[in-house]
Structure formats: structure tokens, C-alpha cells
Chains A and B, each alone.
Chain A
Amino acid sequence: MAFRGFGGFATSGLIAAAILWSFATTDVELSRLMSAGPRIADFLGRMFPPDPTVMAEIKKGSAETLRIAILGTLGAVILSVPLGILASETMVSPAVFRSIRTLLAFIRAIPLILVAMLMVGAVGLGPLPGIIAVAFHATGMLAKFYAEAIDGVSRAPIAALESAGAGALVRLRYAIWPQMAPVVARDTIFRFELNLRESLILGIVGAGGIGFYIQTYVRSFQYDKAASVTIAVVVMVIAIEAINVALRRRFT
């Protein structure tokens, strides 16, 4: 108890120190924050009313975002099948699944937007770097999910197929896969939803999709158009969530 009390005290102290440090070392001039009030109001004013003439751009951008999410998810599935098997405790030796799991943890740790920036540098502007970035980033999670799905199945039918003389891959196909298929479907749809949501902003770094228009309109001071696109993004996120809730109901 005393230790916990000390722990709580130390934590509070640490948080206070972090806040003080941030204030002391950042150029936050309170006077600037005060005078920013009218400027922010002006900025918001220029966003209103949102310009509805950008409907065509919104459609084009959303379609491209959807394509990035679909192809990115496809790429992640293709990568996650072999990596998921190699990350499974029940399919390979500890040395193999431990190193693959570490690799996947590293992949998960790199933010999507960072991968996208690197990919734009590597292959140029457009949806292609977005697709590659989504596929790479999503694999970190999806391969882990697939490995857990493999490890979560009932062992008895696998032993039965082993007894019948079936090799490891044949057992995967006929004893493990039928059991894990619904889990894989659910996980893949979940990851697709995340991919769609995360790829909305990829255009900001030039990796294709609807985010491109937000960036373009903000840079050219067309805030009313930027507002329309932002509203479209919000609507899409809500729609994705609603569809996901409906799908989840089907898979549980």
C-alpha cells in the first residue's frame, strides 16, 4: 500500500514535470493565442458556406481512396497468409515464429502516414505508394491476427488428419482452415475498415485519394471547398462505422 502510494505520488510528479517542461521549452506566446481568436473566426467564416461545386472531385477522390483501401487490403492478405503461418506457434519452430512476430511488431510500430511518405519518395505521387503503404502497414496487424486464428483452433481434428497420414500443409487446408475461416473473414473485414479510414488522409502526403483535395484546397486558400471535402470525409467515416456494426452483427 505504501509502495503504491509512493508510486502514485511519483506518477503525479512525473506528469507535472512533463507539462512544465513542455511549456518552458515551447514557443507558446499567450499573447499570440489571444490575438488568434479573430483570425480563427475569420478562417472558419471563410469555410462557410461549404462550396458544393466540388462534388465531382469528392466522388473521384473517394473512389480512389476506396480503391487504395481495397487493393491495399488485398496486398495485406496476400502477405499475411505466409507470414501468419510463419508467426503461428503451432505451425513452425519457436525460433521462426518469434522472429516473425518481432518483425510484425516493428511493422506495426511504423505509422501509416510515415510509410506513405517514404513510398511517395520511392515510387512517386499517386495511388500506388498509398496502396503499397496500406498493404505493408496492415500486414503488421493482419498477419498477427491470422497467426492467432491458426493457433486458436481445436487440435483434435488436426491430430486425426495427422493419424490419417496428411502432411502439415494438407492439415492446414482441411483441419485448420475450415475452423479458422470465419475468424479470418471477421479480422479481414475489420482491417479493411481500418484501411479505408486511415487511407482517407493519405492524399495529404501525395499518396492518392480524397486527402489530396483537402491539401490542395487548404494550400490555395479555398477553405469553402476544403470544408466540403472535410464534411465528405466525416460522412464516410460514419458510414464505414455503421456498415461495420452491421457486419459485426452478422459474424458473431
Chain B
Amino acid sequence: MSTAVEVDDLRFAHTGADLPALERVSFRVSAGESVALLGPSGAGKTTLLALLDGRLQGWSGRVSVLGAPLDPDLPPPSARRSDTGFVFQEFALVERSTVLRNVLNGRLGRMSPLRALMGSSTKHDLEIARTVLADCGISDLAERRVDSLSGGQRQRVAIARCLAQEPRLILADEPVSNLDPARAGEILALLAGAAQARGATALFSSHQPDLARRFAQRIIGMRAGRIAFDVPTSELNDDATAELYREVEPIPGIGLRAVS
């Protein structure tokens, strides 16, 4: 099976931070796999996903995404960015624009800058937008402005925007942590299902072990910038999970309850 993500001895520190956010991180994700990054707040999940998305520079080690190496010091070109889709924890939608406009924004990297600036979406772009809106169950919201939507609806729009990119790798950073538990399961099922239906690789982060377990084939545990374990979901053991969250008591109710 071909490799979607390969990370070898990755290290990274944010500018101005005392401690590195990622240290000696190595793992591999096969094409089509669905993998969860599990870890408490501050473990380095957001940093790792943003880095794989080509939005962080100045790291060391080797990282290759969808068969091509990332440059530690240069952002990847537009076409490669389009191949990797990203779903943000806080949705990151343009609030004053319509749902359809936000979804079409996912197509911007696939067109020439000139055409993008002139605002001329092709039939093909609109066709894709219509399809992903239907897949995400929000066809009837297309003309609504995002600032009039609920959290669950917003994340559906964000997933639709990501799918509109036609990504081969989908990165999702705590995509449901801002939603209530009922919505959370629904939205993760949508995301995992859409990735599978497209044969796309999915790598999502979560601080909730139960959600990671339900939607991933494999779970990578992170703690303090390092990988603590990397196991198939069926082999995830409660002690290892509890160890991830040891001494992280200021944030109550994170997963500990779910495993104890």
C-alpha cells in the first residue's frame, strides 16, 4: 500500500516558545487509512497537523505528504496545498459570506489566480459544490449566510469546503470539540464516511478517547510533543490512555472519565 504521510524524526519549536512543540516525532500513514491523533491539550496535535498542511516552516527532520517531501523552509505550491484538505477546530469560515461562497472557496486553489479574482466559477466548480453540499446534508442552506448557522451546521459547511478541494489527504484538528456530544458523533461520522467514500486518507486529532476509538482504525497517542504510542484501535489499552492524560488535571472531564 502506498504511503500518504511519512514523518521521520520531526522536531519543531514555535518562535518564542521555551520548549519544542514537537520532538522526535516519527510515524507513517498508509493511503486510505483513518488515523486519530489522541492527546491532551498542549500535546502538539494542532502543531503537527498545521505542519503537515504546509503552514509551518522552520522544522527539522523529514516529512513527506502524498509522496512528495515537504520543504522545511518553504510553503508548498498551491496545487499541493489543494491536495491536502483541512478542517479547523473553530470552523474558520467567512462569517459574512454565504454557505455556497464558503464551499466554493475550497476550489480557489484549483483555479488560476486571475480566474479566482474575477470570481468566475466554472460549471465544474459549481457541480462539485452542489455534490459536497448534498453529501454534507446542507443543500438547503446554500444561500444562507454563515453567521446565521448553528455550530453543527457550520462544521458541515467547513467539511463541505474541505471536500470541495477534492483532497487526497484530509487533516482535521479537533473537528468536533466545539460541538455537543450528539452533534460530535454525527459530524465525525460524516467526515470519516466522506473520506472513505473518496478513498482519501484521514488524520484527525481529538482529546476524547471514545471518539477516536469510534472513528479511527489506528490511534497515535501524543503527550508533550512526543508520540507515546501508535496502535490499531482494537489494541488501545486503557492504561496507556490514562498515562497520556496523567497530571493534566486543570482541564476536567477530558477523556479520563471515559477510560476509568
Over the window 89-104 of chain B, the binary record of Cβ atoms lying under 8 Å from chain A Cβ atoms (1 yes, 0 no) is: 0111111110001000
Complex: how many Å from CA A103 to CA B82? 39
B110 touches A165 (CB 8 A): yes
B88, B116, B119, B165 interface centre (most CB from chain A within 10 Å): B116
A174 CA / B97 CA spacing, docked (Å):
9
Instruction: Answer yes or no: A166 CB below 8 A from chain B CBs.
Output: yes
Q: Report if A160-B161 is in contact (Cβ < 8 Å); known contacts: A173-B116, A175-B94, A179-B95.
A: yes
Known contacts: A164-B108, A167-B78. The answer to whether A178 contacts B94 by CB under 8 A is: yes
Residues in A146-161 with C-beta less than 8 Å from chain B = 154, 156-157, 159-161
Q: Is A241 an interface residue (CB 8 A)?
A: no
Residues of A within 8 A of B250 (CB): none
Most buried by A among B53, B55, B101, B106: B106
Q: What residues of A have a CB within 8 angstroms of the CB of B80 in the complex?
A: 165
B55 contacts A170, CB within 8 Å?
Answer: no
Say which residue of B85, B88, B105, B165 sits within 8 Å of A156 (CB atoms).
B88
The count of chain A contact residues (Cβ–Cβ below 8 Å) is: 21
- Interchain nearest-CB distance for A93 vs B (Å): 16
Instruction: Tell me the bound Cα distance from A112 to B95 in angstroms.
Output: 39
Q: Which residues of A contact B96 (CB under 8 A)?
A: 178-179, 181-182
Chain B residues with CB below 8 A from A165, complex form = 78-82, 108-110, 165
Tell me which residues across on chain A come within 8 A of B158, comparing CB atoms.
160
Please tell me which one of the listed residues B84, B101, B107 contacts residue A163 in the complex, with CB atoms under 8 A apart: B84
11 contacts between A and B (CB under 8 A): A156-B90, A157-B92, A157-B93, A159-B92, A163-B53, A163-B81, A164-B81, A164-B86, A169-B117, A170-B113, A179-B94
Residues of A within 8 A of B (CB): 154, 156-157, 159-167, 169-170, 173-175, 178-179, 181-182
State the B residues within 8 Å of A (CB). Answer: 53-55, 78-82, 84-86, 88, 90-97, 101, 105-110, 113, 116-117, 119, 158, 161, 165
Other A-B pairs beyond A160-B92, A160-B158, A165-B81, 16, CB < 8 Å: A156-B91, A160-B105, A163-B54, A163-B55, A164-B86, A164-B107, A173-B119, A174-B94, A174-B97, A174-B101, A174-B105, A175-B105, A178-B94, A178-B101, A179-B96, A181-B96
